[in-house]
Amino acid sequence: MTNNDSLQGFSEPLAKAIAFIWKEAEILDKKDYASWSALWADDGYYVVPIDPDATDFEAQLNYAYDDARMRKMRIERLTSGFAMSAADASATVRTVSRFVPVHLSNELVEVNSAQILVGYKRQTHTLFVANLTHRIRFTADGPKLEQKVVRLINSEDSLNALGFLL
């Protein structure tokens, strides 16, 4: 069964968004950060809030609140070989499912989903579970991420240095 077969029954905009989200997950597991960067709109935001109920991310403390400049700096840290957390980064495998549309049009899709990410490092598996929100704009240049919000279910606990993107 192909991804397209598994998306039968979904509206076309939602099916395209789900395929895009699955592709993003694959890119992140491969740590292909250059390709991940290309998925973003210039004015897009990658957000990992601490407060699980936060909606005004600019006014809140976040683990990440990255515009294009900050995403570029984060990718440089992850790929430079100089950041200790990235030099020995976990191998990751993530599953994204439970897609619930928030907004659907041919130009813009916002969808909530669930992500289970397993990191493996030094013979230890670590689980990162999150509710995701992707806002994807469909442009002449292809789909672009306007916003990705990663709401870790344990966001109010302390997190170890990740060394990878959620």
Tell me the per-residue pLDDT of 87-99, one tens digit each, with 9 for 90 and over.
Answer: 567 899 999 999 9
Query: For 8-17, 98-107, 115-124, 141-150, which range has the lowest pLDDT when averaged over its residues?
Result: 8-17
How far is residue 78's CA from residue 31's CA, in Å, rounded to a whole number?
9
Tell me the per-residue pLDDT of 25-39, one tens digit each, with 9 for 90 and over.
Answer: 999 999 999 999 999
**What was the pLDDT predicted at 88?**
67
Residues listed for the chain: 166
- 3-class DSSP assignment, residue 51: coil
Q: Enumerate residues 6+ apart whose C-beta is below 8 A from 56.
A: none
**What was the pLDDT predicted at 158?**
76
Domain spanning 3-152, CATH class: alpha beta
Mean pLDDT over residues 6-26, rounded?
90
pLDDT over 80 (residue 161): no
Task: Locate the DSSP E strands across the chain.
Answer: 40-49, 62-66, 91-104, 108-121, 124-139, 142-152
Cα distances from 62 to residues 29, 128, 149, in angstroms, run 23, 17, 11
Element (H, E) at 23: helix 12-29
pLDDT over 90, % of the chain? 72
Q: Are β-strands 62-66 and 91-104 bridged in parallel, bridged antiparallel, or unpaired?
A: unpaired
Confidence band of 86 (pLDDT split at 50, 70, 90):
low
Tell me the per-residue pLDDT of 96-137, one tens digit each, with 9 for 90 and over.
Answer: 999 999 999 999 999 999 999 999 988 888 899 999 999 999
Query: For 19-33, 68-82, 133-147, 149-163, which range has the lowest pLDDT when averaged over its residues?
Result: 149-163
Q: Are β-strands 91-104 and 108-121 bridged in parallel, bridged antiparallel, or unpaired?
A: antiparallel
**What was the pLDDT predicted at 63?**
92
Tell me the per-residue pLDDT of 41-84, one tens digit each, with 9 for 90 and over.
Answer: 999 999 999 999 999 999 999 999 999 999 999 999 888 866 55
